[in-house]
Amino acid sequence: MHPNVLKVLVPQHTIAARVAELGREIAQDYAVRQPLLVGTLSGAFIFMADLARCIDPVPDGLAVDFLRASSYGGTATVTSGEVKLGMQLKTPLNGRHVLLVEDIVDTGTTAKRLVEELRGQGAASVEVVALLNKSPRRTVDMDLRYCGFECPDEFVIGYGLDYNEMYRSLPYVGVLKPECYQ
Ligand code: PRP
Ligand code: MN
Ligand code: MG
């Protein structure tokens, strides 16, 4: 375990098993709808890669694209409330069934903003999948269609999630030792 990790919240094998389940569920739901997976960089990059490979059987027309969004930035452990968007999608969204992929939905600010953006670009449907749902901290109303795990109100890192751009490559989700950000 990394020395700055207080405890492992979701071990690697537990993540893998749940991601495989989500992949099968999504494959069924999108069997006749051709999903476009839109990953939110940077946090979703690992979950997106694993989830995409678990969507089985592969729905016809499964495609991927990416957006960038950040609202925490630097050493902040609470949201700034302002979501900075970056990158344009390659894909015209008219008529597309978009599945927004997030590592975590915390206050919900980022996901809600992105869903509005995707709908505004003409998507036929927009659903959200997140590995982690920190529901005790939600401040905005948003519909999380698929969720890997409920997440306690602690600052979590790993499997894509960062503190000040560190720890994203840890293969598990863990709690950062408070002395590392105080
Ligand atoms: C994190 C996380 C989600 C968002 C969740 O992104 O990856 O995108 O915050 O928080 P919210 O529900 O309170 O909006 P961050 O802004 O840290 O950018 P990053 O993905 O580049 O780390
Ligand atoms: Mn993010
Ligand atoms: Mg971050």
pLDDT by residue for the chain (182 residues), tens only, comes to 999 999 999 999 999 999 999 999 999 999 999 999 999 999 999 999 999 999 999 989 999 999 999 999 788 888 888 999 999 999 999 999 999 999 999 999 999 999 999 999 999 999 999 999 999 999 999 999 999 999 999 999 999 999 999 999 999 999 999 999 88
Secondary structure element (H or E) that encloses residue 8, with its range: strand 5-10
- Residue 65 in 3-state DSSP? strand
Question: By alpha-carbon position, which residue is closest to atom 22 of ligand 1?
Answer: 43
106 a catalytic residue: yes
- Residue tagged active-site, from 60, 106, 141, 143: 106
Pocket test for ligand 1, best of 41, 71, 87, 169 (most atoms within 8 A of CB): 71
Prediction pTM value: 0.97
- Give me the phi and psi of 61, to 5 degrees please: 80, 10
- C-alpha 27 to ligand 2 mean position (Å): 24
Q: How far apart are CA 40 and CA 130, in angstroms?
A: 10
What pLDDT score was predicted for residue 73? 79
Find tokens 């529901």 and name the residue: 135
What pLDDT score was predicted for residue 182? 80
Find tokens 């980022």 and name the residue: 110
- C-alpha 120 to ligand 1 mean position (Å): 21
Cα distances (Å, whole numbers) of residue 115 to 18, 126, 140: 24, 7, 13
- Number of residues assigned to the chain: 182
- C-alpha 44 to ligand 2 mean position (Å): 6
- C-alpha 110 to ligand 3 mean position (Å): 11
The conformation of residue 55, written as its DSSP 8-state character, comes to: -
Token pair of 5 as six digits = 């990790």
Q: In sequence order, which residues have a C-beta less than 8 Å from that of residue 136 and are 6 or more positions away?
A: 152, 153
Q: Which ligand is the nearest neighbour of the Cα of 78? A: 1
Question: By alpha-carbon position, which residue is closest to atom 15 of ligand 1?
Answer: 70
Beta pairing, strands 35-41 & 97-105: parallel
CA nearest neighbour of 52 among 43, 61, 64, 60: 64
Neighbours of 87 (CB within 10 A): 12
101 and 38 in contact (C-beta within 8 Å)? yes
Residues in the ligand 1 pocket, defined by CB under 6 Å: 40, 42-43, 69-72, 79, 102-111, 162
Q: How far apart are CA 161 and CA 172, in angstroms?
A: 10
